[in-house]
Structure 1
């Protein structure tokens, strides 16, 4: 079998190292090692043993500090080479899109029709009620149908006031007033309809049912799981109609923009990088990523579509995206050159696993779990292969994995 690039370079590296150690003119291997140590510490070899441990360790750490400084310099330079790049801030409008070339934003667009935000806003009504009343749930009253889905400890963390507390009433009254105002003016919002349903009708039903539910809860001065579940089950078909409209206008808007930018960039499109910023709850099955991958060069999706999870929406999404993308791009090259003799380690540097993960798992033994890492990797792989057809956001119903 003919040697590949990795085996050849690995062998060359080994030969070079052996020559350096044994062929150092005028010195034995041990003498060479002592000289190397002295050079690294800045202390004559004869005095190296007298250096304090703290100083010796600081000298070691200085190597990494210097590396990090040079790494940062390279990253800053790479940022200004990245081209073309699309950055997507997965915000409440359906996404703010930035077309970037060599560190410069060429165009900023919010391509999704306002219907997206309108549909989601009313669909979030049940979550709004829950957010106000949840602290006064009874943690001991878990419905049989919910027991398999709800962690009792999680419930205790959320239901921290307990059922005797009615502080939720005033806040729920205020929320109800907001809902009622939206309902009174709903007919003037000029909402769309087609064979899949009327957005006006679904919003009207959600708002009317929410008004009735809130009125009953306030009159009874009680918020319980069973009545709330009955309410959410009743409005769920209407929530799904809203989900349809949010999804449809997002697909239409993003598709139109991607078609225009693809025509504008021409042949450069094949090297396109896409970075989608989103919070954890929308990170894996992100709407924008699902749509975007259909417009990218399919041979590049696995490496050029980056789903970047953030704790919150960054103040400067473009800088955060380019900074992380530069790291990824330069690590892709560094991995193949630094870990030339070990492809799995090179792949780790190029990907999401920590470089020490393999060693740690081996040391922990067969009982160690990689559930978190494997789960993330599997999800990411599914995105790149175009296997995800679901849409995600913080609002969810446990009866369905589809989120709006």
Structure 2
């Protein structure tokens, strides 16, 4: 179930953009008059509130803890333990087998990215129900041509080096064999394709289908060492903090949107959190790009959550439905019975979630 902790709205996105130094375009405002002092006086009230809200959040960050911040990456995740706004420890707890297994498993995707702009734009009949012709038209933006030949040959050279030295990588036997198969069949696809100077969806799918069982094997090894590594660090940090502090633990996991559902790190972590608080204290933030400084962005979000939890109960002490909305992902203006129903309502724009 989506909760406030599993989805943070546009105010969070704007806050992250500010922290990351992004540019926010000016937005034209309809129905306002810069020469109306009375309306400017009303806006000044909100400006004071926003300023004080931001000040509380900035001070609160220095008192947050414990918080674990997870930056999903190609190594299985960078884990940071934070207390009182300061990182106590940051490390990659997952064995490098994770990175090695995924490096080879990603080969079909890597080859696809080279040939995709040159794909034929006619969707084969057997794919008509699965491939959106408009999406294909956008991806295949270069059309016919041979600009893909040299990039494929370059990748093949890289794969050849990896294949020649694979035995020296000392991988588990099952993983080593699956990596060898993926490398061999990927090089065969490139050789056949570059020799004929042609490809189509069917030829690529014959290749990708042939390595699918091996990809599953690599996925098994990657998930195995990730589970083991995350379990070890969560167990160690729990022992370091003690059970009482651990009960109040917040965890922020940054993921790219395409991997945000059923994210492996979040699934593993949740099993080590206090069951009574895991649903509200595990915060998944999906984004188009992982922030370069994840800890400040994570703490900014946790501070919003913590102070809004208290604000919600104190401001809406006579209306638990609105209090839950302020504490959760719902926009107050949309809450049934309080939103558009012919009666005035108090929106979050007035009561919380300021940037």
The two structures have a TM-score, normalised by structure 2, of: 0.83
How far 1:174 sits from its partner (Å)? 1.0
How far 1:359 sits from its partner (Å)? 7.1
Structure 1 portions without partners, runs of 5+? 1-50, 365-404
Describe the superposition over 1:334-388 as per-residue Cα deviations: whole angstroms up to 9, x where unpaired.
Answer: 1222223333332222122333334799759xxxxxxxxxxxxxxxxxxxxxxxx
Alpha-carbon distance change, 268 to 157 in structure 1, aligned in 2, over 3 angstroms? same
CA distance in 1 between partners of 2:118 and 2:308 (Å): 49
Aligned residues of 2:97 and 2:221 also touching (Cα < 8 A): yes
Alpha-carbon distance change, 146 to 359 in structure 1, aligned in 2, over 3 angstroms? same
- Partner residue, 1:226: 202
- Partner residue, 1:82: 64
What SS does the corresponding residue of 1:356 show, helix, strand or coil?
helix
What SS does the corresponding residue of 1:99 show, helix, strand or coil?
strand
CA distance in 2 between partners of 1:224 and 1:337 (Å): 63
CA distance in 2 between partners of 1:52 and 1:207 (Å): 65
Greater C-alpha radius of gyration: 1
CA distance in 2 between partners of 1:166 and 1:67 (Å): 60
- Partner residue, 2:266: 289
Aligned residues of 2:34 and 2:40 also touching (Cα < 8 A): no
How far 1:222 sits from its partner (Å)? 1.5
Alpha-carbon distance change, 337 to 160 in structure 1, aligned in 2, over 3 angstroms? same
Describe the superposition over 1:379-403 as per-residue Cα deviations: whole angstroms up to 9, x where unpaired.
Answer: xxxxxxxxxxxxxxxxxxxxxxxxx
Alpha-carbon distance change, 291 to 144 in structure 1, aligned in 2, over 3 angstroms? same
Aligned length, in residue pairs: 308
- Kindly indicate whether residue 71 of structure 2 is the aligned counterpart of residue 95 of structure 1: no
- Partner residue, 1:110: 92
- Partner residue, 2:135: 154
- Partner residue, 1:355: 332
More contact order relative to length (CA 8 Å, sep ≥ 6): 2
The two structures have a TM-score, normalised by structure 1, of: 0.73
What SS does the corresponding residue of 1:94 show, helix, strand or coil?
coil
Alpha-carbon distance change, 155 to 358 in structure 1, aligned in 2, over 3 angstroms? farther
How far 1:84 sits from its partner (Å)? 0.8
How far 1:58 sits from its partner (Å)? 1.6
Residue pairs, 1:2-401, within 5 angstroms:
54-140=36-122, 142-162=123-143, 164-193=144-173, 198-266=174-242, 267-358=244-335
Structure 2 portions without partners, runs of 5+? 1-32, 342-355
What SS does the corresponding residue of 2:237 show, helix, strand or coil?
helix
CA distance in 1 between partners of 2:336 and 2:147 (Å): 52
Aligned residues of 1:97 and 1:109 also touching (Cα < 8 A): yes
What SS does the corresponding residue of 1:111 show, helix, strand or coil?
coil
What SS does the corresponding residue of 1:323 show, helix, strand or coil?
helix
